[in-house]
Amino acid sequence: MATSLKAARAEAGSAAAPAKRNPPPAARSVLGPGDWIAAATDVLVHNGIDAVRVDVLARQLNVSRGSFYWHFGSRADLLRRMLLAWQVEQTEQIIARYRRQALARDELIRELTELPFHGRAAVKGSSVELTIRAWARHDDMARAVVDEVDAKRLSYLQECFLSLGFERQQAGARAFVLYCYMQSESMLRNQGSESEKRERRRFVADMLLAPA
């Protein structure tokens, strides 16, 4: 599995290299691997992993099955790269963005408690993540990526608390509580009024930032 944004992009770029086939010219010029991955992710969310098949995607994209093999070696290759895209977009890129912002760490913790509420992007991201986690319950490849994503997110959160002066064990515990809160708000987004959600965010942030 890719372990960095740079490595992930390099792997994704390599996997997208033309295969030794003669693809339909229209498919080559119009559709890229990202289009297939986006369509496959949409099918995954609405119909489950068993529905992610080449024939289904080709019909949805209105192209021939042959055009699929210009970008992917097999269905398994597509599934692997779907997981890679999710890992990069929902973990690597988000962490990189927060690093670039260089917020004060206490401000960053408060900002992270608001991440599950960031509009349509948060709703879509939550839907994809819940479906991938369901897939990971019975697929070793998906499970390995989910475990890596969880570990990477928790490591970053622990790093944030360490920079606030908490000792490692305390920082790890607070990182875990914050991560569980973020996941719970994503799953329970319809619970409570807007004012109640704001109060929950404030309460969690104050609790996590309080001295040990």
The number of CA neighbours under 13 Å toward the Cβ of 176 is 6
What is the per-residue pLDDT for 4?
39
Question: pTM value?
Answer: 0.81
Q: Dump pLDDT digits (tens) for 12-28.
A: 444 433 343 444 444 44
Q: If you compute the radius of gyration of the chain from its CA atoms, what whole number of angstroms results? A: 20
Give the domain ranges of the chain: 1-81, 103-212
What is the per-residue pLDDT for 176?
98
Q: Dump pLDDT digits (tens) for 119-152.
A: 787 788 889 999 999 999 999 999 999 999 999 9
* Residue 212: other Cβ atoms inside 10 A: 10
The token duo for 201 is: 């965010």
For residue 199, pLDDT over 70 is answered with yes
Largest CA distance in the chain: 64
CATH 1.10.10.60 is the classification of domain 1-81: yes
For residue 6, pLDDT over 70 is answered with no
What is the per-residue pLDDT for 67?
87
* Residue 37: other Cβ atoms inside 10 A: 22
Q: Dump pLDDT digits (tens) for 146-185.
A: 999 999 999 999 999 999 999 999 999 999 999 999 999 9
What is the per-residue pLDDT for 142?
97
DSSP the chain: ---SHHHHHHHHHHHTSPPSS---HHHHHH--HHHHHHHHHHHHHHH-GGG--HHHHHHHHTS-HHHHHHH-SSHHHHHHHHHHHHHIIIIIHHHHHHHHHT--HHHHHHHHHTGGGSHHHHHHHHHHHHHHHHHHTS-HHHHHHHHHHHHHHHHHHHHHHHHTT--HHHHHHHHHHHHHHHHHHHHTTTSS-HHHHHHHHHHHHHHHHS--
What is the per-residue pLDDT for 195?
92
Q: Which pLDDT band, with edges at 50, 70 and 90, does 66 fall under?
A: confident
